[in-house]
Amino acid sequence: MPYDLDQFIADCRRSLERDPGPPGREEVRRGLERLLANQEFVRSYCGHDAPSGTKILYEDPQLGFQVLSHCHDSPKVSPPHDHGASWAIYGQAAEYTDMTEWNRNENGGPAGHADLKAVKKYRLNPGQAGIYQDGRIHSIDYPANARFIRVTGADLERIPRHKFDIATGVATRVESRTTG
């Protein structure tokens, strides 16, 4: 029997209960790649018949992590953003997502300002998953019909995050889905 969503969730719980830090999250990332190898799962939650948008597939009542499907009919380039005090794992199901990781160049510059530098660029192809630890700044760029599963350490609607405007150097605090 193929590895399914229920097995993945149970493994996430075990991994994060044992170690909620980077080693446990790495186990979750590897499990997500295993889940994405299940073509029945991909068709059911991320196939072309799946409704466009973001859907919460699971939210853990004790640990707070979420498993979400993202099915996008239109292309998008997000601004650089972080996930605040949470981590996020992106697992590609269809098409691809180009990922860019950013570093802040200033040391505690003025409030609301951020000088960013792109430090790593790569593409997630179907079956691959990448992790961003707490506060890591990244941006995503995907074509029409891109599909991915994202696992977050918390409901991002409930924690402050930041998005960054490269052209103006402005850092904006957000608490809604406006970060991409």
**Separation between Cα atoms, residue 135 and residue 133, nearest integer Å:** 6
Give residue 178's pLDDT.
46
Give residue 109's pLDDT.
59
Homologous superfamily of 5-179 in CATH? Jelly Rolls (2.60.120.10)
Give residue 44's pLDDT.
96
**Separation between Cα atoms, residue 167 and residue 146, nearest integer Å:** 26
pLDDT along the chain (180 residues), means of 10: 96 99 99 98 95 96 98 96 95 98 78 89 98 95 98 94 92 69
Cβ atoms within 10 Å, residue 168: 9
CB 67 within 8 A of CB 154: no
Give residue 111's pLDDT.
66
Give residue 175's pLDDT.
77
Task: Give Cα separations from 46 to 72, 73, 79, 141, 154 (angstroms).
Answer: 10, 11, 24, 18, 22
**Separation between Cα atoms, residue 32 and residue 91, nearest integer Å:** 6
Give residue 179's pLDDT.
45
Count of residues in the chain = 180
